[in-house]
Structure formats: C-alpha cells, structure tokens
Amino acid sequence: MGRPVLLKLESMQPVAAFKVRAAFNSILAHLDECLSTGVVTNSSGNFAQAVAYAATRLGVESTIVMMRGASAFKRGRTEAFGGNVVLCEDSFEARFEATERIRTETGRRLLHPYNSPETIAGNATLGLELLEQVESEFDLYVPISGGGLIAGTTLAVKAGRPECCVFGVQAEANPSMKLSLEAGRPVRTAPAQSLADALTVLEPGSRTFPIVQQHVESVELVSEEAMASAVRLLAVEQKLVVEPGAAVSVAAALATPPDRDRPLVCVLSGGNIAPETLRALLADAS
Amino acid sequence: MGRPVLLKLESMQPVAAFKVRAAFNSILAHLDECLSTGVVTNSSGNFAQAVAYAATRLGVESTIVMMRGASAFKRGRTEAFGGNVVLCEDSFEARFEATERIRTETGRRLLHPYNSPETIAGNATLGLELLEQVESEFDLYVPISGGGLIAGTTLAVKAGRPECCVFGVQAEANPSMKLSLEAGRPVRTAPAQSLADALTVLEPGSRTFPIVQQHVESVELVSEEAMASAVRLLAVEQKLVVEPGAAVSVAAALATPPDRDRPLVCVLSGGNIAPETLRALLADAS
C-alpha cells in the first residue's frame, strides 16, 4: 500500500476480543459492589465472554443473558470462562427484559457492553497503547457496532495526538452509525444478516454517538464480499485468525487508502470466528 | 496444562518462518562475496522464500532450486520475494546436482538450509531471544527436519541457561533424527508422506547431528492426527495460522508434559500452510 500498515491485534487478547478492556474496567471501577452483588449483562457474544472472564478472575459472580439464537460457539466459551448463561427469546427486547428482571431480582450490577462511561474508558486504553506503540501521526480504522470501541479509542488518540484521523467501519448490512451521523441523531436500523456477527447493534449508544459525531472523520461501509476477502487475506498472508467484524477495518483501509504516507493502523477487534465459517471463507483463497 | 505455555511465533516472521534468521546470517557473513556473485540454494520451501527475501533486501541476486513437485504455493511466494526459481526432478539427488551445476557455472555462493555454521549461528538468535523473553528455566520443544533450528537454538539456550531442557520433535513418518540418535550416527530414512511438509530432510546434518546428540534431552515423535489436531487447536483457540511442521511442537508438548511447573516453550517454526490444507484440517474442529 506504499506506507506502513500496522495491525492492532485485539484478536490476541484473552477471550480473543477487545471487550476484556471494558469488562475489567467496568468491574474494577465498582469492585466492592460487584464482589458483593455479582454482575449481569447481555451480549451478542464477545462481551459475554469478556465479562465471564474478567468476573471469574476478580472473584465476582456473573450472569450473562443471551438469545437462544446466539452462536453455540460463543455460548460454550462464555460458560467455559465461568459465566452463568441465561437464555431468552431472539429479540433485543426480550434480552433487555430478561436482563432487567435478573438485575431487579438479584441486585446484580448491570454492565453495559458499549454505552457506559466505564466501558468507554476501558476501551480508551487501546488508544493510549497506540500512542505509545506508534511514534508518528497515523490514520486509524476502527470497527463500529454500538460505538463503544471507537468512542473510547478516539477520545484517547485525539487527546494525545489531535492530528491523527479516525475512520469508523460498519458492514453495509448494518449502517446504523453512518445513517445516524447523516440524520444528526441516533437512528435505528432493521436487523440484517451479515458475516459480521459482532457488529449487530442497531442503534448507536446515547453516550457513544456524540463522541463519534464530534471526533471521527467518517464512517466507511464494507460489503460482505470485501470482509470475507479480508478474513482470507489475514489468514493466508498474515497468519492471523480474525472474525469478519474485525476484518472490516482492513477491508475499509484497502478500499479507501487516503493519499498520504503516514502509517495506517487497523484495529482487529476480535478473533471469535466459528471454525466452519473460517473454513467456508478459506474456500476461495487458493 | 497447569503451567505457563509460551509460543514462540516464528510464523509471524517475514516469509512466515524462522528461516529468515539463517538466510540473513548466511548472506551477511559473506556480504561482499554475495553482492558480487549472488547466492544459490535448494529448499523444500521455507528456506527458499527466506533466501529470496533476505537476498532481495540486501541487494543480492538469488537462485533457488526446487523440485517440480514442490508446493505451487511456496514456489509462487519465492518468486514474489524476488528469487529466481529453477525446477528439477523430484529427488534430493536431482536437486543436489542441479544446485551444484548452477554453483559451478555461475560462481554463486551456496547457502545451506540447515548444516552450515552460518545457518546454525543464525538460528541461535532464536535461543538468545528466548533467554531475554523468558525469565526462568524452561522446557523447550523444537521441530526437527535437518536439525539446524534445534542445533542453533539449543547451543544458545544451554550456553546461557544450562538447566533448561530441550526436546526435539519429528513426525512419525520421518523419524530420521530419532533413529540417528539411537544408532549413534546419522542414518538415512526413506521418504514418506506427511502433513509436515517442512520436516522432510531424510538424514541429520553432519554438523547438526553431534550438537543434538550432545545437548538435546530426547526426540519425540508426533502422529499425523496429533499434528492436525494441534493446527486446529492453534487456529481455533490461539487465533494463529501455523503449518503442520510447526504445530508438532505443541502436539508433543501436549502429549508428554514433563511433571514440573517451569514454563513450557513451543517453537512455532512457520506458518506456510496452503489454504486448502488449513481448510481441510478445520473440518473436524467444530
């Protein structure tokens, strides 16, 4: 690409996703309360595993509400990390209701996957690390679901080095943040199938949206084919297993390289791809 | 496994293999000569790419002799890195003869993939790095083909920390080093099919064998099924793409964990697995 391309390997984190940053920070910020009451959350997958992992490490009880249709792969891992999984019907409303019920009945502290100050601050550690790891100004590509990762990362990066540019990336199938920016307020999109099963939040968070609105340069959209191709490229050329919702950053960077020579940093936000999905995406790689 | 397991990611090196260490050292040790005459070598794949890569970076011409039956994947990469590939018949004898002919006709310096002092010293840098990266004594598992990697690594590790234990690992299909140790001299084995297409040298090197004989604790053998399982494990759990000839270190460590609590270090020697092979090995992973 004519300039350095750096990959931030959140896929190599414990639970193979950046979500441990937010999970640990959300518990550590209220540790005494969490030790006493336990925590509850809901998640499409990676945050569930992260909360289970962080809670178990910190001696805290965790309950995770997941939809019945959630990946068996991610559910099994959440349980393996020590989380108590409670299943609900396949809608965000049902999941919200089940979570609220548990929170009210048990007094457990609710951890939000992307829209709490603790979550955003936890994710900001990624930006702080980039400031240490990259010496010059850089262009950053960050996947967006609810906006927690890009909000935290951008706040840290722009506070330390305002000349850096940050680009958000979503799947074409779920352009909630892009449409919200165009509308000037958070708007809700309809659910749609996508390989990027980690990028399924249908509406930006009330806290994350204004941060993105104010600090992020633009949001790019990536086709299913382009993200599949990026997963293949990362496996075959870089020897990295990443999930489609993470590979969108590379797909976007490849599609729209800004015309300059500063390093380009792609956040590979997670590696939790089901083996059969990776296998299918490798089929066209030879 | 009840103790720390560390993975040394040679699969993340340029050309996705430890071979760059030996390739660079072999050229840099005689740089003026190599700049003037160029270099020639023969290889089952990873050393070919490494020589092409290192030579091109150092401004040196490189010719690599490969068998016609060598992986098209590895051949294509060798050419992409700037190497001139010359094909020969599918035997080690034919490859040796073609290499000698080119060396005599062109005056190019011959680089040995595993048995030269420069190769062994280049590989020793891996051991020096481990001494820096691991604080305590450790048990080390290293794949063996011709023995160059384990010879160099072991010399460095045992010089710096004699209490460390080093275990070599081969495929059951090609136990040349193990049989040689039992015989007390290098013996030649018959060619055999194996997933571990990087571990195909049929006889230990004259320089590498005595080093292994003197310093390595033992050589473990790994079945095809166990190495396939280790490739799957590394992809699914660790998000790493490695070749079967590298995953043998993990397979051996899993099969024979010594009964103690010092860290266990597995050298993942390369990542050059063909996409269709990785795809096939993922089939049983769900």
Query: What average pLDDT does this structure show over B115-132?
Result: 97
Instruction: Check: CB of residue A269 under 8 Å from CB of residue A249.
Output: yes
Give the CATH number, domain containing residue A60. 3.40.50.1100
Tokens 């990959």 sit on residue: A7
Q: Which of A87, A110, A133 is the last residue of a domain?
A: A110
Residue-wise pLDDT for A91-128, tens only, equals 889 999 999 999 999 999 999 989 999 999 999 999 99
Residue-wise pLDDT for B135-152, tens only, equals 999 999 999 999 999 999
Residue B168, SS3 per DSSP: strand
Question: With bands split at pLDDT 50, 70 and 90, how would you rate the model's confidence at B44?
Answer: low
Find the residue in B nearest to A232 (Cα). Answer: B275
Domain identity same for A121 and A65: no
Domain identity same for B86 and B130: no
Instruction: Check: CB of residue A149 under 8 Å from CB of residue A126.
Output: yes
Residue-wise pLDDT for B160-170, tens only, equals 999 999 999 99
Structural domain of B127? 5-16+116-282
Q: What percent of chain B has pLDDT over 90?
A: 85
Find the residue in A nearest to B241 (Cα). Answer: A239
Residue A184 Cα, gap to closest chain B Cα (Å): 38
Instruction: Check: CB of residue B140 under 8 Å from CB of residue B265.
Output: yes
Phi, psi of A239 (to 5 degrees): 65, 30
The answer to which of A150-164, B44-58, B118-132, B176-190 has the lowest mean pLDDT is B44-58
Q: Which of B54, B81, B110 is the last residue of a domain?
A: B110
The minimal CB distance from B271 to the residues A239, A278, A279 is found for: A239
The minimal CB distance from B279 to the residues A11, A12, A282 is found for: A282
From first to last of its 286 residues, chain A has per-residue pLDDT tens of 888 999 999 999 999 999 999 999 999 999 999 999 999 998 767 899 999 999 999 999 999 999 998 878 778 889 999 999 999 999 889 999 999 999 999 999 999 989 999 999 999 999 999 999 999 999 999 999 999 999 999 999 999 999 999 999 999 999 999 999 999 999 999 989 999 988 988 999 999 999 999 999 999 999 999 999 999 999 999 999 999 999 999 999 998 766 778 999 999 999 999 999 999 999 875 4
Interface of A with B (CB under 8 A): 11-12, 16, 73, 232, 235-236, 239-242, 271, 274-276, 278-279, 282-283, 285-286
Residue A286: per-residue pLDDT: 44
Query: What average pLDDT does this structure show over B237-254?
Result: 97
Strand order in the sheet with B62-67: B84-88, B62-67, B39-42, B109-110
Q: How many CA atoms lie within 13 A of B268 on its CB side?
A: 27
Instruction: Check: CB of residue B8 under 8 Å from CB of residue B126.
Output: yes
Asked if A240's CB is within 8 angstroms of B241's CB, the reply is yes
* B-chain residues near A235 (CB < 8 A): 241, 275, 278
Domain identity same for A216 and A83: no
Domain identity same for A191 and A258: yes
Q: How far is CA A14 from CA B20, B105, B212, B239, in A?
A: 30, 55, 36, 11
Interface of B with A (CB under 8 A): 11-12, 16, 73, 232, 235-236, 239-242, 271, 274-276, 278-279, 282-283, 285-286
Residue B252: per-residue pLDDT: 96
Domain identity same for B157 and B67: no
Residue A130: per-residue pLDDT: 98
Q: Total domain count for chain B?
A: 2
With 80 as the cut, is the pLDDT of residue B256 above it? Answer: no
Q: How far is CA B143 from CA A220, B113, B154, in A?
A: 44, 15, 12
Q: Which two tokens stand for residue B64?
A: 């690599």
Residue A108 Cα, gap to closest chain B Cα (Å): 30
Question: With bands split at pLDDT 50, 70 and 90, how would you rate the model's confidence at B286?
Answer: very low
Domain identity same for A206 and A240: yes
Asked if A286's CB is within 8 angstroms of B282's CB, the reply is no
With 90 as the cut, is the pLDDT of residue B35 above it? Answer: yes
Instruction: Check: CB of residue B228 under 8 Å from CB of residue B248.
Output: no
Residue B58: per-residue pLDDT: 98
Find the residue in A nearest to B273 (Cα). Answer: A236
Domain identity same for B94 and B206: no
Domain identity same for A100 and A122: no
Asked if A240's CB is within 8 angstroms of B240's CB, the reply is yes
Residue B191, SS3 per DSSP: coil
Asked if B271's CB is within 8 angstroms of A286's CB, the reply is no
With 90 as the cut, is the pLDDT of residue B46 above it? Answer: no
Residue type, A46: N
With 70 as the cut, is the pLDDT of residue B258 above it? Answer: no
* B-chain residues near A271 (CB < 8 A): 239
Residue B72: per-residue pLDDT: 84
Domain identity same for B191 and B237: yes
Cβ-proximal residues to B117 (8 Å cutoff; 6+ apart), any chain: B207
Domain identity same for B77 and B184: no
Helices (DSSP H) in chain B: which residue ranges? 19-28, 31-37, 46-57, 72-80, 92-106, 117-133, 148-160, 176-183, 208-215, 224-238, 244-255, 275-282
Q: What percent of chain A has pLDDT over 70?
A: 98
Q: Which of B71, B94, B110 is the last residue of a domain?
A: B110
- Give one DSSP letter per residue of chain A, joined into a string: --S-EEEEEGGGSGGGBTHHHHHHHHHHTTHHHHHHH-EEEE-SSHHHHHHHHHHHHTT--EEEEEETTS-HHHHHHHHHTT-EEEEE-SSHHHHHHHHHHHHHHH-PEE--SSSSHHHHHHHHHHHHHHHHH--S--EEEEE-SSSHHHHHHHHHHHHH-TT-EEEEEEETT--HHHHHHHHTS---------S-TT---SS--TTHHHHHHHH--EEEEE-HHHHHHHHHHHHHHH-B---HHHHHHHHHHHH---SS-S-EEEEE-B----HHHHHHHHTT--
H or E stretch covering B169: strand B165-171
This model of the complex carries an ipTM of 0.90
Domain identity same for B170 and B276: yes
Question: With bands split at pLDDT 50, 70 and 90, how would you rate the model's confidence at B73?
Answer: confident
Residue A260: per-residue pLDDT: 78
Residue B200: per-residue pLDDT: 86
Residue A44: per-residue pLDDT: 66
Domain identity same for A95 and A210: no
Residue-wise pLDDT for B10-30, tens only, equals 999 999 999 999 999 999 999
- Comparing CA positions, the residue from B191, B189, B246 lying closest to residue B222 is B246
